[in-house]
Amino acid sequence: MVTLEEMKQFLRVDYPDDDSLVSTLISSAEELCASVARLSMEEYLALPEDNARTAVLYAVAYLYEHREEADHHQLTLDLRSLLFGIRKEGF
């Protein structure tokens, strides 16, 4: 859904030192967003929705910028708001 190069551009990271970290955060953010939306990874990654992509960008940026003191509860609430339109009522 989001490539490493797109994410680095979004984060304004110009060096390769954090490539591994950013790649890991992309995977984690996609799984977190799929979970918040109550969709399987396959369903989530197949979404044409701009909100789904924006949620991944937001989650990675938040986790990258706050890697020392991330408030995961607040992040989850923010993602629920972003993904409200595509979130299933239950699993």
pLDDT tens-digit map of 44-73:
999 987 889 999 999 999 999 999 999 999
- What angle separates helix 4-11 from helix 50-65, to the nearest 10 degrees? 60
pLDDT tens-digit map of 1-53:
899 999 999 999 999 999 999 999 999 999 999 999 999 999 999 998 788 99
Q: Which band of pLDDT confidence, cut at 50, 70 and 90, is reported for residue 91? A: low
Number of H helices, E strands in the chain: 5, 0
